[in-house]
Amino acid sequence: MTLHAMSPQAMASYSDRLVALFAEGGAFREIWRGDGMALMEMRDGEPVPTFKVHFGYTDGISMTTIRGGPERYPPDRQQPCEPWLFVLRDEAENYFVPEPREFGLNGSFAVFKMIETDVVKFENYLQSNKDKIDPERLAAKICGRWRNGVPLMLSPETDSPPGGIPPEQLNDFEYVNADGSGDPRGLRCPVGAHMRRINPRGQPVTGQGQPGGSNNTHRLIRRGLPYGPAYDPSQPYDGIERGLLGYFINSSIENQYEFVLGNWVNDSEFAGAVRLAPKSKDPLIGTQDPAESIFVIPQAEGAPPIKLTGFSSFVATKAAAYCFLPSVTAIKFIAGLG
């Protein structure tokens, strides 16, 4: 069960109330509880929630646009996703609604993960390569955005471009256009960067071989919150675990979540038209072996690329579960089975 609340006090109160109700009805017994909460920063002496994650990046900028969805989506130059990619529907092109139909219809599959983030290791790695590349620039190249959310595709040289970029425009860009123009070789944003692997947009990749293609078949909806206190660089070795609690929601775990993780995140040949270094994986969340890990940053005007090696994984999965999220009609169906 997941519970969302606007304050820690409300979260504790409703959690305790639910546990008591479950015990009273002989329904469920709580065996584990993990609390996530937006990271806070001080503004005018008051703690204010942020959209940051522990690695320091602003999160929640890119949203998966759903055709006919109720949310107001900022422009991102991608075709809207069909609802059946995330909700089990009869009109789906690549699956049948699971039986019994009353239970499967309008439900979703989801992967729940508890992911530990090693912030100390990440920050130390940035600093250890400062003789090759500025640490903040390296952080941007690893992710595909500067830590304040400005994408490399819109501002490859600075996180503060002249005039700034309105928040609603931070996701309005393409990697490769239908005519092959854009940044096909990764001079602005490395092809192997985290954000470009997770959502390659128009980059021809495994599962979508056309420039300017949507890559929608493998899209995910991600919802998550950090856990643990904000990282304090003045006390890096505090022994406190930090990470992310998240849901990855889709209609096919195999074709969406597992495909992205196996073919885009952890495969050096995910972009067939662009030859990445053998053994290269997503530098931020890939499963790395220090003896083989490599991240290559192309340089313009024929300059030799910057090659970074010898790093281990910056994240570790602490817990995972494959889940089914039933619809309201499915819950009513279950309630009537007694």
CB-facing half-sphere around the CA of 66: CA atoms within 13 A: 13
Residue 338 has pLDDT above 80, yes or no: no
Q: What is the pLDDT of residues 210-223, one digit of tens each?
A: 898 888 999 999 99
CB atoms under 10 Å from CB of 219, counted, come to 21
Q: Is 8 exposed, middle or buried (0-12, 13-18, 19+ CB in 10 A)?
A: exposed
Tell me, what's the pLDDT at 162? 95
Residue 82 has pLDDT above 90, yes or no: yes
Rounded to an integer, the average pLDDT of 159-179 is: 95
CA-to-CA distance for 118 and 196, rounded, in angstroms?
22
Residue 202: which pLDDT band, with cuts at 50, 70 and 90? very high
Q: What is the pLDDT of residues 23-72, one digit of tens each?
A: 998 888 888 888 999 999 888 999 899 999 999 999 999 989 999 988 78
Query: Residues 6 or more apart from 205 whose CB is under 8 A from it?
Result: 215, 264, 270, 271, 272
Residue 132 has pLDDT above 90, yes or no: yes
Check: CB of residue 81 under 8 Å from CB of residue 65. Answer: yes
Question: Own/partner pairs for 87-94, CB < 8 Å, 24+ apart?
Answer: 87/251, 87/327, 88/251, 89/251, 92/251, 94/217, 94/252, 94/255
- At 140 the three-state DSSP class reads helix
Residue 84: which pLDDT band, with cuts at 50, 70 and 90? very high
Alpha-carbon dihedral angle through residues 159, 157, 284, 217, given to the nearest 10 degrees: 90
Rounded to an integer, the average pLDDT of 129-153 is: 98
* Pair of tokens at residue 295: 């991240």
Domain ranges for the chain, please list them.
1-33, 34-335
Strand partners, 249: 110, 221
Task: List the single range of 134-138, 207-211, 325-329 with lowest mean pLDDT.
Answer: 207-211
Rounded to an integer, the average pLDDT of 112-132 is: 97
Instruction: Determine how β-strand 108-117 pairs with β-strand 315-325.
Output: antiparallel
To the nearest whole number, what is the mean pLDDT of the chain? 94
Q: What is the pLDDT of residues 224-257, one digit of tens each?
A: 899 999 999 999 999 999 999 999 999 999 999 9
